[in-house]
A and B are shown apart, each in its own frame.
Chain A
Amino acid sequence: MNQDHLSLMEGKRKFLFCADSQGVRSLYILVSQAIDENAPFDFHIFQEESEESFVDEWISHQKMGTYLYISGAVDFVKRIQNKALKIGFTEHDFQSLPIGPAKKKLVCCTCHGESEVDVEPHITCAHCGLELEVSDHYSRRLDAYLGYVTIR
Chain B
Amino acid sequence: MVSTEKIRSFPYPFGEHDVYRYSNNAIPLNPPIAIEVTETYIEEMNLKRELLKKHPERCYYSEPHTMDAQWEALDQILHDLSKYYPETFKLVTNGDQWIFNNLHTDEKYSFTFGDSTTLDEEPLDFAGRHVQEDLILMMQRDGDLFLDVGQLCFPANWSLYFDAGMSFKEIHTPIPGFKSDSLDERILQFLMRIEAGSPWWRKNWSLMAGNILDTSLETFAEWGQARKKVTKENAGEMVHFRVEVQKLFRLPKSNGILFTIHTHMLQLQEFIQHTPWLEQFSAILKELPEFITDYKGISLYREVVLEYLEGELKKR
Residues of A within 8 A of B (CB): 90, 107, 109-112, 130, 135-142, 146, 148-149, 151
Query: Contacts of A90 on B, CB cut-off 8 Å?
Result: 142
Are B161 and A151 closer than 8 Å at their CB atoms? no
5 contacts between A and B (CB under 8 A): A137-B162, A137-B174, A141-B165, A151-B227, A151-B228
B166 lies within 8 A of A149 (CB): no
A107 to B217, CA, bound (A): 12
Instruction: Give CA–CA (A148, B159) in the complex, Å.
Output: 11
Complex partner residue of B165 from A111, A130, A140, CB under 8 angstroms: A140
Binding site for A on B (CB under 8 A): 57, 142, 159, 161-166, 170, 173-174, 217-221, 224-225, 227-228
B142: chain A residues at CB < 8 Å are 90
Nearest 4 CB-CB pairings of A with B: A141-B165, A151-B224, A149-B221, A109-B217
Q: Are B221 and A146 in contact (CB under 8 A)?
A: no
> Does the CB pair A109–B165 fall under 8 Å?
no
- A64 and B174 CA atoms in complex are apart in Å by 36
| A112 and B57 within 8 A (CB) | yes
CB distance from B138 to the nearest CB of A (A): 15
Residues from chain B with a CB closer than 8 A to the CB of A109 are 159, 162, 217-218, 220
Output the residue of B159, B174, B225, B228 with the most chain A CB within 10 A.
B159
- Within 8 Å CB of A148, what residues of B? 217, 220
Docked pose: A151 CA to B165 CA in angstroms: 28
Decide: B162 and A107 in contact? CB cutoff 8 A.
yes
Residue of A nearest to B300 (CB): A151
Q: A139: which of B163, B217, B219, B227 is its contact (CB, 8 Å)?
A: B163
Residues from chain A with a CB closer than 8 A to the CB of B224 are: 149, 151
A140-B162 CB under 8 A given contacts A130-B221, A149-B224: no
Judging by beta carbons under 8 Å apart, are A140 and B227 in contact?
Answer: no
Given A135-B174, A138-B170, A151-B225 in contact, is the A110-B165 Cβ separation under 8 Å?
A: no
| Minimum distance in angstroms from A122 CB to a CB of chain B | 15
Report Cα–Cα, A130/B220, bound state, in Å.
11
Question: Are A146 and B228 within 8 A (Cβ)?
Answer: no
Nearest-CB residue, chain B, relative to A145: B162
Residues in A whose Cβ lies below 8 Å from that of B174: 135, 137, 146
- Contact across chains for B220 and A110 when beta carbons are under 8 A apart: yes
CA distance A146 to B171 in the complex (A): 12
Closest approach, in angstroms, between the C-beta of B256 and any C-beta of chain A?
Answer: 18
Task: Report how far A135 CA is from B163 CA in the complex, Å.
Answer: 14
Minimum CB–CB distance from B224 to chain A (whole Å) comes to 5
What residues on A are CB-neighbors of B57 within 8 Å?
112
Interface centre among B142, B163, B220 (most CB of A within 10 A): B220
The answer on a CB contact under 8 Å between A146 and B159 is yes
Q: From known contacts A109-B217, A109-B218, A149-B220, infer whether A137 and B173 are also in contact, taking CB-CB under 8 Å.
A: yes
Q: How far does the Cβ of A86 sit from chain B's closest Cβ, in whole Å?
A: 16
A145 to B: closest C-beta gap in Å: 10
- Chain A residues, Cβ within 8 Å of B221: 110, 130, 149, 151
CB of B260 to closest CB in A, whole Å: 23
Choose among B142, B166, B221, B228 the residue with the greatest number of A CB atoms under 10 Å from its CB.
B221
Given A140-B166, A141-B166, A149-B224, does the pair A112, B161 have CB atoms closer than 8 Å? Answer: yes
Tell me the smallest distance from the CB of B6 to a CB of chain A, in Å: 30
Closest to B226 in A: A151
Sample of 15 more A-B contacts, CB < 8 Å, known A140-B170, A151-B221: A109-B159, A109-B217, A109-B220, A110-B221, A112-B57, A135-B174, A138-B173, A139-B165, A139-B170, A140-B165, A141-B165, A148-B217, A148-B220, A149-B221, A151-B228
